[in-house]
């Protein structure tokens, strides 16, 4: 065990100190509060919510109590089988059981503590619904809408999504309205009215509801305060040093410290040090710099899953920024809709473009040992005018002139020349792609075979909702960058979310939850909401256990 370098002069004291105000942190805070502890949440940013607040706000909870409402049966055994397969031997089976057993309990707890009700998403399939134990829907849960005015003076302190911020629709509505395939059919008048009223959705709604409950329970939330060092005495973590308005403070945590500070996706050095592939375009808000990971390492925490992220392809509109850094938009749908394909510099397809974003990214990192380079980077998404006529592309709506941030050309060869892709290769790939689109069967990469692919496709596009010819000039290209909605590696924990040292012994007083914790699903992504679902589950376990510890 490591010891703090200097004796602390406490600025304040609490029972349970939570570092980070995302989904994992606020769940930990609510759970510790319910168990009778005085709780303080430290947040580095000036706003509450982290990546959770800009997310889709969906939680993946297998075997949850809302599934019968949408007619989907589930069981512990099916969920375990499914998650174990996706974890691919990279996670501890006991922790997978912990997730499967406790996620439904966490959900019931959050619904009670935050006085909210989630809705099971009947048609949002697991990310591999055809695998044994996979489900066609029901495990992913929608947090609904939230009236941000209910936060009073905290309304302006809730982090808001730069992407989903203006369109207050539930995930259920977005699905029913065909948000991806029929953007012009959205009820814009209703959305405008909701916006005027201050209604918000997705991650903003989730964090808004958690924040409202946190404030109602008089849990202290201290913004613009960055934890920097764990304070250890006699082998136990008893507090944290932090920086506030340029000054150092020290907060005593009598019962425990919960690290819930998110991943390390914005730290170039940690990403280069640990990740299996280059992560150049993270999708989360800047701020997840691995502070919690470094604090855990500094007290001897064991680490796991460090090569992994919740990978996600990123698209960029030049000049767009969020919190002073480039805005990297995760591409969840463009690549799944007809009239698009992704190619490498040889102009060749290399993956089912409609695959879930996490698994899709893995072939981007494949390495050619002879050429000593990654065969599929850089990669480009190619589309034609038919796509722009029918579907939205980030800020572009159908029927408008092509945006100037798209590379465009009258022929595929001319487009290839502009993006330095092999022209003959691109033409041959498009010809082959058009044959597959006509047949409605992608015998090369199986695009459009899985129910998951269809979720992001166009149901009116026949015979395959994900395949459409690329033939109508002009042709367009955008670079697809390696991104991630968060990293997955971090401190190893036990089923109480206590951080373990390299001998497998719990470090007294220290907990981790969310993306700062070693992800329990290994390299896999079970379904929409699996990152927040797992983060909030381990947050719930951490808060409950920390509150029970004997105070120092």
Ligand X SMILES: Cc1cc2nc3c(=O)[nH]c(=O)nc-3n(C[C@H](O)[C@H](O)[C@H](O)COP(=O)(O)OP(=O)(O)OC[C@H]3O[C@@H](n4cnc5c(N)ncnc54)[C@H](O)[C@@H]3O)c2cc1C
First to last CA, the chain: 17
Q: Which of 530, 541, 546, 547 binds ligand X (CB under 6 A)?
A: 530
| Closest CA relative to residue 141, chosen from 114, 116, 158 | 116
Q: Are strands 12-19 and 39-42 parallel, antiparallel or unpaired?
A: parallel
Task: Output 138 or 347, the one with its CB closest to ligand X.
Answer: 138
Among 137, 208, 239, 262, which residue interacts with ligand X (rule: CB under 6 A)? 262
Give me the residues paired with residue 321 across strands: 326
List the interface residues with ligand X, window 45-104 (CB under 6 A): 45, 50-52, 54-58
> In this structure, what DSSP letter does residue 152 have?
G
Residue least distant from ligand X (Cβ): 22
Q: What is the bridge-based pairing of β-strands 39-42 and 220-222? A: parallel
Cβ contact 169:179 at 8 Å: yes
Comparison of 181 and 288: residue with beta carbon closer to ligand X: 288
DSSP state of 5: S
Stretch that binds ligand X, among 62-70, 98-106, 287-295, 390-398 (CB under 6 A): 287-295
- In the chain, count of helices (H) and strands (E)? 15, 25
Nearest-approach distance from CB 230 to ligand X, in angstroms: 11
Q: How far is the CB of 410 from ligand X (least distance, A)?
A: 34
Of 43, 331, 353, 501, which one interacts with ligand X (CB under 6 A)?
A: 43
Residue 182 burial by CB count (10 A; 0-12/13-18/19+): exposed, middle or buried? Answer: middle
Nearer to ligand X, 55 or 461 (CB): 55
Q: How many CB atoms lie within 10 A of CB 318?
A: 7
Neighbours of 443 (CB within 10 A): 9
Per CB under 6 A, 361 contacts ligand X: no
Spatial CA neighbour of 543 closest among 514, 503, 518, 519: 514
Q: Give whichever of 22 and 468 is closer to ligand X, judged by the CB atom.
A: 22
Q: What is the DSSP string of 216-283?
A: HTT-EEE-SEEEEEEEEETTEEEEEEEEETTEEEEEEEEEEEEE-----TT-HHHHHHH-SS------
How far is 175 from 189, CA to CA, in rounded Å? 18
Bridge pairing between strands 325-326 and 329-330: unpaired
Binder of ligand X out of 129, 208, 287, 468 (CB under 6 A): 287
Cα dihedral 445→446→451→455 (10° resolution): 50
Tokens of 257: 């410290």
Query: Which one of residues 476, 529, 538, 542 is an interface residue with ligand X (CB under 6 A)?
Result: 529
Residue whose CB is less far from ligand X, 106 or 485: 485
Q: How far is the CB of 393 from ligand X (least distance, A)?
A: 16
In DSSP terms, 343 is beta-bridged to: 380
- Work out which of 18, 343, 393, 485 binds ligand X, going by CB under 6 A: 485
By CB under 6 A, residue 21 contacts ligand X: yes
Q: Least separation, in Å, of the C-beta of 307 and ligand X? A: 17
Among 450, 531, 537, 549, binds ligand X (CB under 6 A): 531
Question: Under the criterion CB under 6 A, does residue 310 sit at the interface with ligand X?
Answer: yes
Q: Which is nearer to ligand X, 392 or 421 (CB)?
A: 392
**Sole residue written with tokens 């040292």:** 501
**Is 175 among the residues that bind ligand X (CB under 6 A)?**
no
Residue 239 in contact with residue 231, Cβ under 8 Å? yes
Q: Is the CB of residue 242 less than 8 Å from the CB of residue 226? A: yes
The distance of closest approach from Cβ of residue 274 to ligand X in the complex, given in angstroms and rounded to an integer, is 17
Q: Which of residues 181-240 bind ligand X (CB under 6 A)?
A: 226-227
Tell which one of 24, 79, 257, 546 touches ligand X (CB under 6 A): 24
Selected range binding ligand X among 85-93, 94-102, 248-256, 281-289, rule: CB under 6 A: 281-289
154/445 with CB nearer ligand X: 154
Cα dihedral sign for 412, 417, 420, 423?
positive
Residue ranges of E strands in 20-92 = 39-42, 59-60
Instruction: From 16-24, 31-39, 92-100, 181-189, give the range in contact with ligand X by CB under 6 A.
Output: 16-24
Residue with the two structure tokens 């912990």: 98
Scanning 37-45, 141-149, 416-424, 540-548 for contacts with ligand X by CB under 6 A, the matching segment is 37-45
Residue 305 makes contact with ligand X by CB under 6 A? no
Q: Does residue 288 interact with ligand X by CB under 6 A?
A: yes
What is d(CA 279, CA 487) in angstroms, rounded to the nearest whole number?
A: 10
Report 96-155 residues binding ligand X (CB under 6 A). none
**Segment 314-333, which members bind ligand X (CB under 6 A)?**
330
- Give the position of tokens 């509109």: 317
Of 15, 17, 18, 23, the residue at the interface with ligand X (CB under 6 A) is 23
Cβ–Cβ under 8 Å, residues 508 and 501: no
42 vs 337, beta carbon nearer ligand X: 42
Count of residues binding ligand X (CB under 6 A)?
Answer: 42
Min separation Cβ 189 and ligand X, Å:
26
270 binds ligand X (CB under 6 A): no
408 binds ligand X (CB under 6 A): no
Stretch that binds ligand X, among 10-18, 20-28, 211-219, 365-373 (CB under 6 A): 20-28
Binding residues for ligand X (CB under 6 A): 19-25, 42-45, 50-52, 54-58, 226-227, 260-262, 283-284, 287-288, 291, 310, 330, 485-486, 514-515, 528-533, 535
């Amino acid at each position: 065990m490591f010891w703090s370098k200097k004796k602390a002069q406490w600025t304040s004291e609490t029972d349970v100190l939570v570092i980070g105000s995302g989904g994992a942190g606020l769940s930990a805070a609510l759970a510790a509060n319910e168990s009778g502890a005085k709780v303080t949440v430290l947040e580095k940013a000036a706003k509450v919510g982290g990546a959770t607040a800009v997310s889709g706000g969906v939680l993946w909870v297998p075997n949850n109590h809302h599934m019968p409402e949408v007619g989907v049966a589930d069981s512990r055994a099916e969920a375990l089988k499914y998650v174990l397969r996706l974890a691919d031997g990279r996670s501890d089976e006991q922790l997978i059981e912990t997730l499967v057993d406790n996620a439904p309990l966490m959900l019931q707890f959050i619904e009670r503590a935050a006085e909210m009700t989630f809705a099971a998403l009947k048609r949002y399939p697991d990310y591999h619904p055809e695998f044994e134990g996979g489900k066609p829907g029901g495990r992913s849960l929608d947090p609904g809408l939230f009236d941000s005015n209910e936060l009073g003076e905290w309304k302006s302190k809730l982090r808001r999504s730069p992407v989903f911020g203006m369109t207050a629709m539930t995930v259920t509505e977005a699905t029913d309205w065909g948000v991806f395939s029929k953007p012009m059919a959205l009820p814009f008048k209703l959305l405008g009215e909701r916006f005027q009223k201050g209604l918000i959705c997705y991650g903003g709604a989730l964090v808004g509801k958690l924040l409202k409950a946190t404030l109602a329970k008089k849990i202290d939330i201290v913004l613009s305060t960055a934890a920097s060092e764990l304070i250890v005495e006699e082998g136990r973590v008893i507090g944290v040093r932090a920086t506030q308005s340029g000054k150092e403070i020290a907060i005593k945590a009598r019962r425990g410290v919960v690290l819930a500070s998110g991943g390390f996706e914005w730290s170039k050095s940690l990403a280069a040090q640990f990740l299996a592939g280059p992560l150049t375009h993270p999708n989360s808000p800047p701020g997840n710099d691995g502070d919690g990971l470094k604090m855990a390492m500094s007290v001897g925490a064991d680490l796991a899953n460090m090569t992994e992220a919740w990978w996600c392809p990123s698209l960029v509109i030049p000049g767009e920024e969020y919190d002073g850094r480039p805005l990297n938009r995760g591409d969840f749908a463009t690549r799944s809709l007809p009239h698009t394909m992704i190619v490498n510099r040889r102009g060749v397809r290399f993956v089912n473009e409609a695959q879930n974003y996490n698994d899709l990214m893995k072939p981007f990192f494949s390495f050619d040992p002879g050429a000593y380079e990654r065969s599929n980077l850089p990669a480009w998404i190619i589309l034609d005018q038919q796509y722009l006529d029918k579907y939205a592309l980030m800020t572009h709506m159908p029927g408008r002139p092509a945006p100037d941030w798209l590379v465009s050309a009258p022929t595929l060869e001319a487009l290839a020349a502009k993006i330095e892709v092999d022209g003959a290769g691109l033409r041959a790939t498009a010809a082959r792609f058009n044959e597959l689109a006509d047949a409605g069967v992608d015998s090369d990469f199986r695009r459009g075979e899985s129910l998951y692919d269809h979720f992001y496709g166009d149901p009116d596009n026949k015979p395959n909702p994900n395949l459409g010819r690329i033939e109508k000039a002009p042709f367009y290209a955008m670079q697809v960058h390696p991104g991630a909605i968060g990293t997955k590696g971090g401190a190893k924990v036990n089923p109480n979310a206590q951080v373990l040292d390299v001998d497998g012994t719990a470090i007294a007083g220290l907990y981790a939850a969310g993306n700062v914790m070693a992800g329990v699903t290994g390299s896999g992504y079970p379904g929409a909401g699996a990152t927040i679902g797992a983060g909030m589950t381990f947050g719930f376990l951490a808060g409950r256990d920390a509150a029970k510890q004997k105070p120092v």
